[in-house]
Amino acid sequence: MTRLEVSGRLLARNTLLNLIGQAAPLLVGVVTLPFVVHGLGPERYGLLSLSWVVLAYFTIFDLGLGRAATKFVAEALARGDHDRVPRLVWTAVTVQTICGGLGALLLVAISPSLVEHVLNIPQALAEEAKATFYVLAIAIPVVLVSSSFIGVLAATQRFDLVNAVGASFSIVNSLLTLVAVVSWNWHLSHIVVILVASRFLATVVYYWLCLRVLPSLKGLPRCHRQELRALIGFGGWVTVSSIVGPILVYLDRFMIGSLLTMTAVAYYAAPYDIVTRLWVIPTSLVATLFPAFSVLTGQRQWERLADLFSRSTQWVLLTLGAVVVVLIIFAHDILQVWLGSAFANESTYVLQILAVGVLVNSLAHVPHSLLQAQGRPDVTAKLHLAELPLHGLLVWWLIGFWGTTGAALAWTIRVAVDALLLSVAAWHLTSLPLQAFVSAKVTQTALCLCLFAAVLLAIGSLPLAIWLRLLGSGLVTLPIGVLVWHYVIDGKDRHQIIQLLRLASVR
């Protein structure tokens, strides 16, 4: 492989690939989720939701090595230091395998207490819940190791391979879950077995692709002490965020499960799952940005770094903001059509508040990636540590007042504060000018978004059938889109979009 270079066309192409790779499983999930929810029932669906939360939390045993491997492999390739790549990768994978095994043993040990004392799980589901957590334990080392292989492909900018595998397996998993619930009437533990097996197979495929891209990875795994120090030095602070981050994200669900009921968890989890699927947009971009930021940092191209940061912020706001506006205004109608009147009555305010939070949190992805690419994961970790006790008190207090709506409000307040602090920290601790953070592009985009929200709010408040309001909203979107194309998006971005569309049409 030659020396790695970053270009605007490459970043645009990779972002589009990431978006397609995540949007396709998202669409399948949106279609299958109502059948899964109704097939399992609110309590079992709430338990399934919490099960994935538990698995996500146990990725702390990664020790930040997957993220660190992506950064250092990207920097090594940018400098042409190919001999270092196998040492980095196999050091990360070896340690992840050991730590993943320890995490699996820990989850098996604490599962009875988690089911019987921590979560408010009905007695009838207790044994099924324990079996589900036991099966999930097997997946922990598999998930950790796969993160390094995915990171290697990302560092080499091979997002075509990452998304081809990830999207295919995600779609298959959604379909398998649907069939298992609707046709076979399986218990949760049986469903999780096939999902874990699918994850293992995906990891094997990722490894095979890494060998195709970097043949130097062939050989027996070996841990190198010098590389381990570099990986742990970076990954240690990422681990702190990995420990605190899932608590900040999922604490509301656990408190709802403890203070309220599993049914309340379902009424909160369903709109949460809807709106957080919008993270497909910022994560599609950020997955490309982190290795690109790392390459530009390694090459000390500060002007290109500042321009990339500003444009990325603008595009997150532009693409996600319009979707969030539609979700907020038509929240009740969406829930009514998708999940029924019970969810629409209980979850409308939750969906609207969380939608605002997701937009703000998505904007924070850009400074978060920049800080880590600059070798400052300690900043994000320290901010998360400071936020944790305050967020816990806020969630407990607001759930007591407003139930699930209060939980959504607490989550949104927390991510808003986090976004502000990350932006200020990135400005102070990097070499980028203030114009990269508060640019004319971002201001113009925000003004157009406000105009779009005002027009849709006026249409949404009309006493018309939903299809007429949606039709009217679609009609006003076109002229606003033309305004954005000519006066908000600059010539460079327009050229990149046209080139990308031409490339897609040829293929």
pLDDT for 437 equals: 65
pLDDT for 507 equals: 46
pTM, full prediction? 0.66
pLDDT for 338 equals: 74
Query: Apex CA 429: angle with CA 239 and CA 378, to 5°?
Result: 15
Query: Apex CA 146: angle with CA 140 and CA 147, to 5°?
Result: 95
State the distance between the two ends of the chain, measured CA to CA, in whole angstroms: 24
DSSP character at residue 371: H
pLDDT for 409 equals: 92
Q: 382 near 422, Cβ under 8 Å?
A: no
Q: What is the mean pLDDT of each run of 10 residues along the chain (507 residues)?
A: 55 74 80 80 76 74 78 78 81 85 89 78 79 86 87 83 87 85 76 85 90 81 75 75 74 80 79 80 75 73 76 82 86 80 83 91 87 81 86 88 88 90 83 68 78 78 73 75 71 63 50
pLDDT for 505 equals: 47
pLDDT for 95 equals: 84
pLDDT for 467 equals: 67
| DSSP conformation letters of 332-347 | HHHHHHHH-HHHHHHH
DSSP character at residue 300: T
Residue 53's H or E segment, with its range, is helix 42-57
Question: Among candidates 243, 277, 269, 235, which has minimal Cα distance to 375?
Answer: 235
Question: Among candidates 149, 166, 191, 196, which has minimal Cα distance to 25?
Answer: 166
pLDDT for 183 equals: 76
Q: 273 near 338, Cβ under 8 Å?
A: no
Per-domain boundaries in the chain: 8-438, 439-507
* Residues 6 or more apart whose Cβ sits within 8 Å of residue 243: 60
How many CB atoms neighbour CB 341 within 10 A? 10
Question: Among candidates 334, 313, 312, which has minimal Cα distance to 325?
Answer: 334
pLDDT for 133 equals: 85
Q: 50 near 129, Cβ under 8 Å?
A: no
Amino acid sitting at position 130: K
